Amino acid sequence: MLRETIRFALLVSPLCVFAQQLDRPGEWIDLTHPFNSDSIYWPTSPEFRKSTIAEGHTDGGWYYTAYEFSTAEHGGTHLDAPVHFAEGRHTTDQIPITRLTGPAVVIRVGDRAAGNRDYLISVADIRAWEKKHGRIATGAIVLFDTGSAPLYGDKVAYMGTDRRGKAAVDALHFPGLHPDAARFLADERDIDAVGLDTPSIDYGQSKDFMAHRILFEKNIPAFENLANLDKLPDKGAYVIALPMKIEGGSGGPLRIVAFLNHQTTDKK
């Protein structure tokens, strides 16, 4: 009980600081790719579809538009809820808002991933960030910038293949979290969420999805296919990540943004 009380106090403090920051010079950064026919989806998942119900001027003389869309939970910029890989853990609608909002840590591995699309983010990468910026704080949202976001419009460059179906899964190549790094964050750092600028927190060639399984067992959700992480400082941004609230869902489309207070953020 004491531990939970202390943790709640630590989480409330960043919220209070954020409220104060809104009155100071800053800017909002959108970390979300648009949803459209080019959105990245897992090769075995249905892709985003949008069709027109009405568009134009009505007989009454006013303008009116309406569309319908369909999408798998896991595609485009989206949330992975813990239940996606951990039985009995949070569904999309059960994730506390406090796990979806908080101070951001951005760990950059683009220089290593550029020459190796199968790069596995290591504990050493995390510790190198901490050596420069200090221990990752309680309640942090840890984001990994692999340099992949600029490739998003090119499926082959971004994920290794533009093919569809089960056969395409073996052709996937993109960076992800090493299981040891996931275990380090889950067991040794009291974080609220993780996020990557790739289609999955596990690397493309993963067959056992251990990073998902390790983090989700601890009810730590993940954000995938993020944009514009290069525009965030290493430390000091505040993230708000609100998914479509699908009851009982294993994930969902996500609108994720970050606020930068120019007086308090650490530069890269």
pLDDT in tens, 204-237: 999 999 999 999 999 999 999 999 999 999 999 9
The pLDDT assigned to 20 comes to 56
Fold of 2-46+73-261: Glucose Oxidase; domain 1 (3.50.30)
Number of neighbours of residue 87 by Cβ within 10 angstroms: 8
Phi, psi of 224 (to 5 degrees): -125, 155
The proportion of the chain whose per-residue pLDDT surpasses 90, expressed as a percent, equals 87
Q: How many CA atoms lie within 13 A of 29 on its CB side?
A: 20
Q: Judge whether residue 249 has pLDDT over 70.
A: yes
pTM of the prediction? 0.90
Q: What is the pLDDT of residue 25?
A: 72
Distance, CA of 236 to CA of 14 (rounded, Å): 11
pLDDT tens-digit readout, 43-85: 999 999 999 999 999 999 999 999 999 999 999 999 999 999 9
Confidence class for position 256, pLDDT limits 50, 70, 90: very high
Compute the mean pLDDT over every residue in the chain, rounded to the nearest whole number. 93
CB-CB neighbours of 13 under 10 Å: 14
Q: What is the DSSP letter of 220?
A: -
pLDDT band at residue 262 under the 50/70/90 scheme:
confident
Answer yes or no: are the C-beta atoms of 217 and 81 closer than 8 Å: no
DSSP letters along 150-204, please?
GGTT-HHHHHS----SHHHHTT----EE-HHHHHHHHHHS--SEEEESSS-SS-T
Which residues have CB under 8 Å from 6's CB, separation 6+?
A: none
Instruction: Find the mean pLDDT for residues 159-180.
Output: 97
Domain borders along the chain are 2-46+73-261
pLDDT at 12: 55
3-48: per-residue pLDDT in tens?
555 555 555 555 555 555 555 679 999 999 999 999 999 999 999 9
